[in-house]
Structure 1
């Protein structure tokens, strides 16, 4: 589910769950473990990457629709735990967005320190509204702190998926690169950051990310049950099942 690559002082964690790196319980827990292991093993920075053309298609909706309420709640709790792990990472994390990154994939990138996205016909965004889901405030705030309150509102309410150029223009991502150069550029930014005096850089980073860290200080205080209630709303279930049916027709 993951490929781990060592780059001198940096560790690359590559999502590798074919065909689209869809997020399920096992992948989320593997990612949490890999983040912790990288820091324990001495990595001074981390690159979170996908496969060429696809960072992550987001939540594995077909699998999640087969689960009961307890299992769905467990999944969403682990999703927020993964966000918290990125928010509280003691070392900088760069999202190497190697292709499409809708919904859950886009959310994970928001908790990283910097985002490099593949240039071209790739799309990113929090399209929860379009698939019948409600993005809770703990996710909305992660987008607001990146693109600003008004732009976040417009993107969230419309459930917009925007292309790489639009994402760069509104600040959703920090840099564009050819798809085969995304990881290279992510490492370049990371190495420049790691070349700074470590104590001052890390202390300043912690202050700058205090809002994110505070929001995710206690995952069990987040509105998980409210989110699960919304997932099981009749309209949401109908929209998600229609989505799955369309995906099956494409296979």
Structure 2
């Protein structure tokens, strides 16, 4: 589900799970395991996260949520937050190479990285959770606020629109654009630059400093109401209605 290749001192992590790297319990747990392991691995100075195939990640596998109901939601939401935090907390430089769609949870996963490079072309990025009918997990909300700032995060979340690469750059969802065939090389180069420009202990300490308030809020968090709201969305037909609309119009079944 995650493929790791070390290029020099840069670990390239590819999400490889189905056609669009949908986020389900298994992939989220694999992301968390991989990132925690790389954070402590000797010889790995920085990390690049990308997707195998045509998408970075098209979001949560909503079909699994509908089919699994309350029991699945209860195990999935902690796994989703664990994946987000493992990327966000990693003390080494992390660069996202956004090779295609990065929607909803996929967008948050990219936002958790220190630098985001998106391929030009037809991929889109955004956070349409509210259009699906599910609330933001607090971890995702904190990451979006940290990355975009509170005003831009609020605007982006309540708008719920997926953006093409140029619009994503203007909004701050990504930091730069790159031709698809040069994307991975550029991401590795940026990751290497971040790893060599500063002493590793200084970078780790400073990264923890600028995230300290976010970590403190998340460490004291309980999200019991969140699970109830996701379960309601899974069982009252709103997620199914979203799937019917998007599948009918050629959209992905994910995007949660």
- Provide TM-score, normalisation by structure 1: 0.90
Q: Does the aligned pair in 2 maintain the 1:87–1:213 contact within 8 Å?
A: no
1:123 — aligned with what?
A: 124
- Distance (whole Å) between structure 1 residues aligned to residue 183 and residue 212 of structure 2: 28
Report the secondary structure of 1:195's partner residue.
Answer: helix
1:239 — aligned with what?
A: 238
Which runs of 5 or more structure 2 residues have no equivalent in the other structure?
none
1:1-251, aligned counterparts within 5 Å?
A: 1-42=1-42, 43-198=44-199, 199-217=201-219, 221-223=221-223, 225-233=224-232, 237-246=236-245, 250=250
Shift in Å at residue 155 of structure 1? Answer: 1.2
- Distance (whole Å) between structure 2 residues aligned to residue 153 and residue 70 of structure 1: 30
Distance 1:237 1:51, change over 3 A: farther
Distance 1:222 1:83, change over 3 A: farther
The two structures, once aligned, show a CA RMSD in angstroms of: 2.1
Shift in Å at residue 201 of structure 1? Answer: 2.5
Per mean C-alpha deviation after superposition, the further-off stretch among 95-104 and 46-55 is: 46-55
Q: Does the aligned pair in 2 maintain the 1:24–1:60 contact within 8 Å?
A: yes
Shift in Å at residue 181 of structure 1? Answer: 2.0
Distance 1:148 1:90, change over 3 A: closer
Distance 1:112 1:152, change over 3 A: same
Distance 1:244 1:5, change over 3 A: same
Q: Does the aligned pair in 1 maintain the 2:234–2:240 contact within 8 Å?
A: no
Q: Does the aligned pair in 2 maintain the 1:52–1:180 contact within 8 Å?
A: no
Which runs of 5 or more structure 1 residues have no equivalent in the other structure?
none
Q: Does the aligned pair in 1 maintain the 2:81–2:139 contact within 8 Å?
A: no
Per mean C-alpha deviation after superposition, the further-off stretch among 8-17 and 200-209 is: 200-209
Distance 1:182 1:222, change over 3 A: farther
- Distance (whole Å) between structure 1 residues aligned to residue 141 and residue 38 of structure 2: 28
Shift in Å at residue 66 of structure 1? Answer: 1.0
Shift in Å at residue 74 of structure 1? Answer: 0.8
Q: Does the aligned pair in 2 maintain the 1:24–1:59 contact within 8 Å?
A: yes
Task: Give aligned pairs, total.
Answer: 248
- Provide TM-score, normalisation by structure 2: 0.89
Shift in Å at residue 211 of structure 1? Answer: 2.8
Higher RCO by CA contacts (8 Å cutoff, separation 6 or greater): 2
Report the secondary structure of 1:12's partner residue.
Answer: strand
Q: Does the aligned pair in 1 maintain the 2:69–2:235 contact within 8 Å?
A: no
Shift in Å at residue 2 of structure 1? Answer: 1.9
- Distance (whole Å) between structure 2 residues aligned to residue 165 and residue 108 of structure 1: 19
